[in-house]
Amino acid sequence: MIQPACILFLLTLPWSQSLSDPYINCSYGAKRINIKEVPWLASVRSENRHICIGTIINTNSILITSTCLTERNKTSVRTHDLATVTVRVGIRDRDSGTGVKVCNVIHHPKDSTYPQDNRLALLKLCKPLIFSAEAREIAIVDKQPQKDAKVSISGWGSLTRWRFPYLNCGELLWQVDDHLIDVKACAAERIEHFKLAKSDRTICLAKKGTICSYDNGAPLVIEGKLAAILYFGSCSNKPDVYVSLFSYRDWIETNSKDKK
């Protein structure tokens, strides 16, 4: 989700300087919040390491971007073994608590096809969650979000795209309030990365400041309902790209049902 561009600070610091230095500001444009304010958040983990954010759809289903389960480097792509994947809910500190095992993953039927906005998946938990003030589901919006809509984005923040352990600025929860921008304007800003056609399956965040947003799956909320999840972010002030969920309501609702 949201993480200030810590790299820029670190490049100017002597290596002997403590990484706890208060001038390494990890709250630019964001505010710290309690899990009770965003109880639908889940930390998705592989081998006990945070890999992305999930959103609680019901007691047995967590919505993610399907790219959460893959990890890329310059030479290869690794798919996380489902046997190592767990989900933590009801926590403010991302690396605290115990995990619930994942027994199955349901990919959107067009996940691997173009365009990229079909990259959704549902994690099916091995045992149902017990809801509380710190952990509960969120409803999906019942209408397509409009340009300029006011939104909130929350999460723990990534460890940067490359997940360097010494750049961890996001162990506690943060939230940013912002607004959406026109998809055509977003496409013009992001054309060097991929082709972005005007589609009701894609929305873009204006992004007020230069903050790092690599924690895929981070939820975008409008008036208390889940509108989108993060698909593509960066450490720049260019718009972040989200998968808009209104068009996927039927697929999410059908596949999140407990089929006992």
Instruction: CATH number of the domain at 126, please.
Output: 2.40.10.10
* Domain annotation covers residue 127: yes
Q: Is the residue at 260 inside a domain? A: no
77 belongs to a structural domain: yes
Distances (CA, A) of 70 to 45, 114, 119, 151, 187: 12, 17, 12, 28, 25
Q: Do residues 56 and 129 both lie within one domain?
A: yes
Structural domain boundaries, residue 229:
3-33+139-247
Which of the residues in the chain have pLDDT under 50? Answer: 2-27, 159-168
Indicate whether 112 belongs to any domain: yes
Q: Judge whether 145 lies within some domain.
A: yes
Q: What is the pLDDT of residue 203?
A: 86
**Do residues 61 and 129 both lie within one domain?**
yes
- Whether 85 contacts 123, CB under 8 Å: yes
Task: Quote the pLDDT of residue 45.
Answer: 94
If one counts the domains in the chain, the total is 2
Same domain flag for 120 and 143: no
pLDDT of res. 199: 66
Q: Are residues 145 and 231 in the same domain?
A: yes
Tell me, yes or no, whether 68 and 152 share the same domain: no
C-alpha span between 231 and 57 (Å, rounded):
18
> Residues 153, 174: one domain?
yes
- Looking at the fold, whether 154 and 199 belong to one and the same domain comes out as yes
Residues 145, 126, single domain; the answer is no
- The answer to whether the CB of 41 falls within 8 A of the CB of 120 is no
Tokens of 156: 């723990």
pLDDT at 31 (0 to 100) = 82
**3-state DSSP call for residue 69?**
helix
Distance CA 204, CA 206 (A): 6
β-pairing, 85-89 vs 100-107, is antiparallel
CA pair distance 110, 119, nearest whole angstrom: 8
Q: What is the pLDDT of residue 85?
A: 95
pLDDT for the residue 77? 63
Do 176 and 219 have their domain in common? yes
Q: Which of 230, 252, 250 is nearest to 239 (CA)?
A: 230
Indicate whether 207 belongs to any domain.
yes
* Same domain membership, residue 192 and residue 126: no
d(CA 232, CA 27): 21
The pLDDT, as a whole number, for residue 12 is: 30
Do 23 and 45 reside in the same domain of the chain?
no
Q: 49 and 63: one domain? A: yes
